[in-house]
Amino acid sequence: MRKTWILGVVAVMVLGAGTMVLTNRPIPVPVARPETDVPLRIYGLGTVEARVLSRVGFEVGAAMISLSADAGDRVTKGQDLASLNPAEQEARVARARAAVVANAAARTRAEAAVIRARAMLAQREAANGRQQDLARRDVASVQRAEEAGRDEAVARADLMVAEADLAVIRAQGEDAAAALRLEETLLAHHRLVAPYDAVVVARHVEPGTVVKAGDPIFTLIDPATVWIQAYVDEERAGQLALGQPGSIRLRSQPASEFHGNIARIGLESDRANEERRVWLVCDDCPQPMYLGEQTEVRILTGTRERALMVPELAVSGYDGFRGTVWIVQDGRLARAEVTFGARDDRGRIEVTGGLPDGAQIVAQPPKGARIGRRAMEATP
């Protein structure tokens, strides 16, 4: 019995000694080391888009009789794309032209009436002058003189009426000419032409369809304006600037990397997703580009000649400027509050201050870490 008790005591002592050795031996931890020529990149997801995209259609409605372009075609500015049945509008144009011709005839007649009225007035003025002279010399009666004066007044009034009729007909002529231009314009709207050099993305109708004014017939893009629209986390978007270079990967070609630069930064962020939009123009992307294709971008915002980069997962209480990290100082684990700067696309943050002299930041804190625990740098 006494022997068994002694063996138990010895076993407990051995176990305790082993535990103390295990808990006090230095644990290996990976530490972050300064690096040189560190690129600072921002990661974003996006899609291929076109800055100039138009859904073109007719300004009038009618039955479609022909379409001369299809998806994938390249068209030039002014090229015919489609046409509507023009019969009804052609009849309106013919009626408007007839109205212009009729007005021209009426105007000629009115001008002749003015000439006749002027001649009649000149005759009445001369006759009235003679009668008034004879009446002053008592050669003609006063009644004849009064009748001559009345005839001159009537002739003058007739001239005024003729001139007014001519003015009305001229105004009607301008109205008829404007009506003709309107009908001819509406007839021209029965043809759909390309507004610029473009690529047809989609054709939305087929011949025989009765379309309404404004219905989209084709979707066009200017191929020179295709770019990448990307979404960047607002928390990292403060480093963005126009002209910054970026690498682009297309989902259809994941093994290839293309290059571009920022052409526009959105002035309004997405309030729900807390993201900012940027647009990159690609310098060497393959042709053709496919709208809506998903892309990944990495924008180079700067470089550091020398920087200490720490994984974000190693930082607790990070508020965008400072946070707490585990450090190894004098061979033991401790906690320190440090300040941070820029981030990169690998989930790391630049340490800018607060690190005690001679201390190293633990890049991956071990389980069960506690302050004062002996630690040493893990060998690669």
Q: What is the pLDDT of residue 7?
A: 54
User: Angle 313-316-322 (CA atoms, 0-180°, nearest 5)?
Assistant: 110
Yes or no: is domain 26-36+305-377 CATH 3.10.129.10? Answer: no
Contact in structure between 120 and 155 (CB atoms under 8 Å):
yes
Q: What is the pLDDT of residue 24?
A: 60
Q: What is the DSSP string of 304-354?
A: EEEE-EEEGGG-BS--SSEEEEEEEETTEEEEEEEEEEEE-TTSEEEEEE-
Q: What is the pLDDT of residue 198?
A: 95
* Cβ neighbour number for residue 346 with a 10 Å cutoff: 12
Contact in structure between 249 and 113 (CB atoms under 8 Å):
no
Task: Tell me what the mean pLDDT of segment 253-282 comes to.
Answer: 92
- Crossing angle of helices 87-136 and 142-188, in 10° steps, is 170
Q: pLDDT tens for residues 288-344?
A: 889 999 999 999 998 999 999 999 998 998 888 899 999 898 889 999 999 998 888
Confidence of residue 2 (pLDDT cuts 50, 70, 90): low
Identify the three-state secondary structure at position 109. helix
Contact in structure between 110 and 162 (CB atoms under 8 Å):
yes
Confidence of residue 149 (pLDDT cuts 50, 70, 90): confident
Q: What is the pLDDT of residue 20?
A: 47
Contact in structure between 70 and 203 (CB atoms under 8 Å):
yes
Does 365 sit behind a cis peptide bond, omega within 30 degrees of 0 on the bond before it? Answer: no
Q: Which residue has the higher pLDDT, 22 or 241?
A: 241
Q: Which long-range contacts (CB under 8 A, 24 or more apart) does 167-171 make?
A: 169/103, 169/106, 169/107, 169/110, 170/107
Contact in structure between 307 and 38 (CB atoms under 8 Å):
yes
Q: What is the pLDDT of residue 343?
A: 85
Whether residue 9 is predicted with pLDDT greater than 60 in this model: the reply is no
Q: What is the pLDDT of residue 17?
A: 43
Q: What is the pLDDT of residue 208?
A: 92
Whether residue 128 is predicted with pLDDT greater than 80 in this model: the reply is no
Task: Tell me what the mean pLDDT of segment 330-359 comes to.
Answer: 90
Provide CB contacts within 8 A for 98, sequence distance 6+: none
Sheet bearing 53-56, strands edge to edge: 53-56, 218-221, 198-203, 74-75
Q: What share of the chain has pLDDT > 90, as a percent? A: 58
Q: Tell me what the pLDDT averaged over the chain comes to.
A: 87
Q: What is the pLDDT of residue 69?
A: 93
Q: Rounded distance, CA 131 to CA 290, Å?
A: 96
Dihedral pair phi/psi, residue 34, rounded to 5°: -60, 145
Q: Rounded distance, CA 247 to CA 310, Å?
A: 23
Q: Rounded distance, CA 233 to CA 280, Å?
A: 16
Q: What is the pLDDT of residue 37?
A: 92
Q: What is the pLDDT of residue 21?
A: 42
Q: pLDDT tens for residues 152-188?
A: 788 888 889 989 998 999 999 999 999 999 999 999 9
- Least Cα distance to 35 among 343, 362, 301, 306 occurs for 306
Q: Give the global pTM.
A: 0.71
| CATH for the stretch 53-85+191-221 | 2.40.50.100
Q: Rounded distance, CA 75 to CA 221, Å?
A: 10
Domain ranges of the chain: 26-36+305-377, 53-85+191-221, 86-188
Residue 146 carries which DSSP code?
A: H
